[in-house]
Structure 1
Amino acid sequence: MFIGFDYGTANCSVAMMEQGEPRLLTLENDGIYIPSTLAAPTRESVAEYLFKFRDIKPLDSVGEQVLRRAIALNREECIDLEASDLAFGHSALDLYLQDPSETYYVKSPKSFLGASGLRDVQVSFFEDLVCAMMDNIKRNAETDAQACITDTVIGRPVNFHGRDSEAANQQAENILLKAAKRAGFKNIEFQFEPVAAGLEYEATLTENKTVLVVDIGGGTTDCSLIEMGPRWRGQSNRAQSLLAHSGQRVGGNDLDIALAFKQLMTPFGLGSKTTANIAMPHIQFWNPIAINSVDAQADFYSRSNLATLNQLKKEAQEPEKLARLLEVFHETLGYSIVRHAEEAKIALSEHPQYSVVMNLLSEQLEVDIHFEDMINAIESPKQKMAELVKEAVMQGRVQPDAIFMTGGSARSPILRSAVQETLPNIPVVSGNYFGSVTAGLARWAEVCFK
């Protein structure tokens, strides 16, 4: 049996073909989408969990090294791992929020794939993370489908990180490929996510069109200019229909982080000064919430930075604010702050004002955010997304007949307006914001494996 697999930055979903149409399968409770999150007692627990409870072994010597070290460290910490200690999706977030300081929590590991400077052991660790999530999803999907799943088409962005970084793209795709093999998939293909979304839109067309697909996901924005319609439907060779692609690692997560930085970090000391009237370094307020950067997270939560934060508190004009930043360090609150920003972003799409309430150990912080504040905060990532739209059209050297917007962040009226302003007088259409990519991947899997 084959499926389309959208291993997304914000959410994951899979779909099978049933009576000629894609059907998304249940992955968590009764939901067809599962957040791309994992929680465990320690970072090292992931490798041990795969080996001990899923009988999933490393594929190479580096993976074996990571596994041996993981087991040894867990023994040193007297952690006797149980199968139920690893949680995924909403359950992972619930576990993290219960005790952030005692839980290893990762959101959107896809954001880290293709990052420059990763050592072999880090690449192997991310492979374990992705494998554990894919294994969980595959088992749940098989329960719903009541069949063994062997083949899959996995969606991938045009560029995982920087533009035209083939080395980064190859590294990321290799991690996905190895993880999928270890999770039990036998035959694996890849397809660009915007192309997959376009295939789903194409199924609704009764005439041929040139369509610009704009997929604004959690981690990346990808654009594909595609000729589509009855002429192309079901063809295995679509090379001539794919006119242009553009993509960059800028997505919904970047909007959340930008909003968190501009609006939620002031109570933690952003904009404050030392007794010598020197501004507090911005990097100390960016790094804890830059949850899609390996380097930023490592720098902020390092032991050496703890000494720096304590020194900044001593020198601060408002030491109570730096005390809160120290709590962010000790309680690992960066993910929680970004989650508050995400909730504000969603609410501000429908309301002019939203109050964020953050519960710390000793106090409750309330920050009011207005719609105009959000517009200002996300201006930079919004402009990057608009440039990708321009780039795809310039590459293709043809104006599209329609713009098909998909991806969770494409719901934002601010981003839809930005795309419309970039290409005025071209109709903007939408389908299932969350499911178009998954459905299109299932359609392409049918072409590949049937």
Structure 2
Amino acid sequence: MTTLSCGIDFGTSNSSIAIDQNGQISLVPVEKEHVTIPSALFFQRTNNKAFYGREAVNLFFDRNQGRFMRSLKRVLGTSLMKQGTLVNGMSMNFVTIIASFLKHIKDKADAVAGEEIEAVVMGRPVHFVDNDGQADARAQAELMAIAQRIGFKYIDFQFEPIAAAFAHEANVTGEKLAIVADLGGGTSDFTVIRLSRQSGRKTDRSSDILANTGVRVGGNDFDKELSMTAIMPELGYRSTYGEKQLDVPIKPYQDLAEWSKVNFLYTPKLIMQMRQILHQSHDKKRFQRLVSVLENETGHSLLASAEATKIALSTQEAYNARFDFIEPDFSIEIERTLFEQSIDGEIEKIMESARQCLREAGIQKEAIELVILTGGTTEVRTVQMAFRQLFPNAAIADENKLSSVGLGLAYDSRNKFGPTSSRNVLSSVA
């Protein structure tokens, strides 16, 4: 028996779903004409109705009342999955929240297919959680349970960089030894793989895959480093208070710089503590900005400004980041050199993971013929420069940065669950 199948790329920043339509693998429009959707939800305060993607983002930044969430993928495998969170005063676990988002995507694909899709290959990073095998296994088990909950009967997993390789393989001439760099919002993952058009229909690719590595560093970490370096000092970060010249607490600034932690800051206890520090602050003007962000719950707006600055500085020498939501006419001029300096350490972690992949594959960097760059973080100029420096003789393929993983997962699902496959069982990573 065979069944209609799909591939789902549940990303930290963006998600997609692709299916096989009459022998043609294609992405499904998941938000109007868009084939990718921001991994974001907004729960309306009046009735807890959920909105998704760009609509969720727009509702929140238009100052509608409710609870906004992003970067939910980073919660998988952590204690927050059991802890849950308050959504407009109601306790809600993250299984329910993530399932709501993925069901929304699945419904779009079911409508295009004209029937319920029962089989899926879910993308996953090489490591959900660094250096913690138990948490990593727990994260995949949680994602499998969510896939079952939203109606999938047959579920498999594939590493995201391998899926990206499958998407590019259809255009490969001859055989190529490639390294795939999938740099998303939450993780950076690498695969060294032999690609050829003839291998594209093979169900078992284990002999072609030479190594996989990954590190829990991505575009969200770039946002955080930029924010902590260039923005948070203008909100009183590293200032002092009181007669003993104490440093102001660091944790509120760190949490304000992470999408997955912002919502946990708006507590009466923390706001009261920050107000007390404000009275003793040696930099009241700047520290008042932090208090205002907490009181008005504009942490997501602050993060959005950091993200917009990162994107702008990928092509501009300088950017005037505006923060009118904190105080009138408040802006910060940020130079690209400062941004690039702030992320040097994160880029080194990414490149070390790439070098580790080469070592585990047992090959020299000169043997790589093709570098496949996918994921929005590869748009950053210094990231591109780092890969061109590491692989000066290789061809660079960087088309379909936001959609190649979803497409590749659909190719994998066709091979595993399609007409020529005998597999229709629940399983783990291929």
Give me the TM-score of the superposition, normalised by structure 2: 0.89
Match of 1:343 in 2: 308
Letter in 2 for 1:379: D
Matched, 1:21 2:29: no
Q: Deviations over 1:167-219 (max 9, x none)?
A: 11221112211111111222111110000001111111121222111100111
2:199 aligned with 1:232: yes
Match of 2:186 in 1: 219
Cα distance in 1 for residues equivalent to 2:74 and 2:398: 25
Distance 1:86 1:269 in 2: 35
Q: Secondary structure at the match of 1:364?
A: coil
Unaligned stretches of 5+ residues in structure 2: 86-91, 419-430
Counterpart AA for 1:110? K
Q: Distance in 1 between matches of 2:272 and 2:310?
A: 34
What corresponds to 2:41 in structure 1? Answer: 38
Aligned 1:269-284 pairs, distance under 5 A: 269-276=236-243, 277-284=245-252
Contact map agreement 1:389 1:419 (CA 8 A) in 2? no
Alignment-derived partner of residue 72 in structure 1: none
* Structure whose residues are more often helix by fraction: 1
**Match for 1:259 among 213, 220, 226?**
226
- The CA distance in 1 between the partners of 2:187 and 2:56, in whole Å, is 23
Deviation digits for residues 369-411 of structure 1, max 9, x if unmatched? 1111110121121111111111100111113222111111112
1:240 aligned counterpart, secondary structure: coil
SS in 2 for 1:359: coil
SS of structure 2 residue aligned to 1:147: coil
CA deviation after TM superposition for structure 1 residue 257, in Å = 1.5
**CA deviation after TM superposition for structure 1 residue 448, in Å:** 0.9
Deviation for aligned residue 1:304:
3.2
- The alignment partner of 1:265 has SS state of helix
Question: How far off is 1:153 after superposition?
Answer: 0.8
Distance 2:211 2:118 in 1: 32
Partners of 1:231 and 1:2 lie apart in 2 by 22
1: CA distance between counterparts of 2:225 and 2:173?
A: 41
The reply on whether 1:249 has 2:213 as its aligned counterpart is no
Cα distance per residue 1:343-379 (max 9 Å; x no partner): 1111111111111111226523111111111101211
Deviation at 1:427, TM superposition (A): 3.0
Residue type of the alignment partner of 2:324: N
| 2:101 counterpart residue number | 133
**TM-aligned CA distance change 1:194 to 1:119, over 3 Å:** closer
Query: SS where residue 372 of structure 2 aligns?
Result: strand
Give the direction of change, closer, same or farther, for the CA distance of 1:292–1:381 in structure 2 (3 Å limit): farther
One-letter code aligned to 1:11: N
Q: Is the 8 A contact 1:27 1:137 kept in 2?
A: yes
Task: Measure the CA separation in 1 of the matches of 2:313 and 2:143.
Answer: 35
1:127 deviation in Å?
0.9
User: 5 Å matches for 1:393-432?
Assistant: 393-399=358-364, 400-432=368-400
Distance 1:198 1:119, change over 3 A: closer
Give the C-alpha shift of residue 279 in structure 1: 3.5
**Superposition pairs for residues 351-366 of structure 1, below 5 Å?**
351-360=316-325, 362-366=327-331
Tell me if 1:86 matches 2:50: yes
Match of 2:82 among 105, 109, 120: 120
Call closer, same or farther: CA 1:3–1:310 in 2, change over 3 Å: same
Matched, 1:177 2:154: no
TM-score w.r.t. length of structure 1:
0.85
